[in-house]
């Protein structure tokens, strides 16, 4: 089912607006129960953590992220929204000593693709889950299946120079291949590993200016532009604007995207 503008609102773009349609699917898959204790891995500013806390009225939600500013923002938002049964800690989920068997459920919205040692990281998360505890995470499918990634990379690179804008640094697509993801999770001790295809557009804003501002804020975009130098960078921004214009319809600027919901269970 495709969705209409009212799903997105018309305010400034942010990550929660970009992923609103994905979020709905993750929430359904997580199916937080009223007494669950939930761990949110790579929680960012804590949207999904607060959401889990609201569903776990007699339980709790705990968000961890390596970014100190993100955790500060997550705490501010939880206070502002009056969500009491939620807490946050700046921590590397790969090594943080979670209380053993504390959590019924570990969730993540695009926060589990960046571990240096994914087997160690998921084994660590597994130790925090009670026996039969669940892992429910959303990750990107491979880059070439994500129109937003391909289109932005091509626009930044220009014809015949795809490598000029090849992403560097953390790989947002590292769990995109199901065989690889399954091998990692099995080695980390998880069972009942399953993949559900998520095919929803990402939303970059109500108009081209807003979308350009949002996309220029991506680390991969700003790094690619910096590498190009002033003249080539100005041409790349013009190409990017054209690409975004071509994706503007009555619902705003949107690109096709493919993600997985990966579910697994601690034996
Ligand atoms: C794409 S963002 C998603 C943020 C959040 N889940 C959301 O949906 O708003 C990925 C997040 O994972 C965090 N992250 C990356 N590696 C991490 C690690 N080893 N431990 C904890 N958080 C990590 C980043 O700091 C970033 O906030």
Ligand 1 atom at minimal distance to the Cα of residue 121: 19
Element (H, E) at 140: strand 129-140
Q: Where are the beta strands (DSSP E) in 1-123?
A: 37-41, 60-65, 86-90, 103-109
Give Dmax over CA atoms of the chain in angstroms: 57
pLDDT in tens, 93-151: 999 999 999 999 999 999 999 999 999 999 999 999 999 999 999 999 999 999 999 99
Sheet holding 252-255, edge to edge: 202-205, 252-255, 248-249
Nearest CA to ligand 1 atom 23: 42
User: Whole-angstrom Cα distance, residue 92 to residue 103?
Assistant: 17
Going from the N-terminus, what domains does the chain have, and what CATH number goes with each?
A: 5-143+169-204+255-265 (3.40.50.150)
How many angstroms separate the alpha carbon of residue 64 from the centre of ligand 1? Answer: 8
Q: How far is CA 86 from CA 57, 125, 141, 235, 244, in A?
A: 10, 18, 30, 46, 37
* Residue 228 confidence (pLDDT): 87
Nearest CA to ligand 1 atom 14: 42
**Whose structure tokens read 């800690």?**
89
Give residue 218's pLDDT band: very low, low, confident or very high (50, 70, 90): very high
pLDDT in tens, 165-182: 555 667 999 999 999 999
* Residue 170 confidence (pLDDT): 78
pLDDT in tens, 45-77: 999 999 999 999 999 999 999 999 999 999 999
Ligand 1 atom at minimal distance to the Cα of residue 115: 19
Reduced 3-state DSSP string for 163-185? HHHCCCCCCCCCCCCHHHHHHHH
User: Whole-angstrom Cα distance, residue 257 to residue 206?
Assistant: 18
Those residues with Cβ within 8 angstroms of residue 84's Cβ, 6 or more apart along the chain or in another chain: 53
């Amino acid at each position: 089912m495709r969705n209409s503008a009212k799903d997105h609102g018309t305010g400034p773009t942010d990550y929660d607006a970009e992923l609103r349609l994905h979020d709905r699917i993750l929430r359904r898959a997580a199916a937080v129960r009223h007494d669950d204790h939930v761990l949110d891995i790579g929680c960012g500013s804590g949207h999904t953590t607060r959401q889990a806390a609201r569903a776990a009225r007699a339980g709790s939600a705990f968000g961890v992220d390596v970014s100190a500013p993100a955790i500060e923002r997550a705490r501010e938002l939880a206070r502002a929204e009056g969500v009491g049964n939620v807490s946050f800690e700046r921590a590397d989920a790969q090594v943080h000593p979670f209380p053993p068997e504390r959590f019924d459920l570990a969730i993540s919205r695009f926060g589990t693709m960046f571990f240096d040692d994914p087997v160690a990281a998921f084994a660590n998360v597994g130790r925090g889950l009670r026996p039969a505890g669940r892992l429910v995470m959303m990750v990107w499918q491979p880059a070439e299946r994500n129109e937003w990634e391909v289109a932005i990379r091509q626009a930044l690179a220009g014809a015949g120079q795809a490598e000029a804008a090849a992403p560097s640094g953390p790989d947002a697509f590292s769990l995109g291949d199901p065989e690889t993801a399954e091998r990692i999770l099995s080695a980390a001790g998880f069972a009942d590993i399953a993949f559900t295809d998520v095919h929803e557009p990402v939303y970059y804003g109500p108009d081209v200016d807003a979308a350009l501002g949002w996309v220029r804020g991506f680390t991969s975009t700003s790094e690619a532009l910096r590498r190009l130098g002033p003249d080539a960078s100005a041409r790349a921004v013009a190409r990017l604007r054209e690409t975004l214009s071509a994706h503007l319809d009555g619902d705003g600027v949107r690109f096709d995207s493919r993600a997985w919901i990966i579910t697994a269970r601690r034996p």
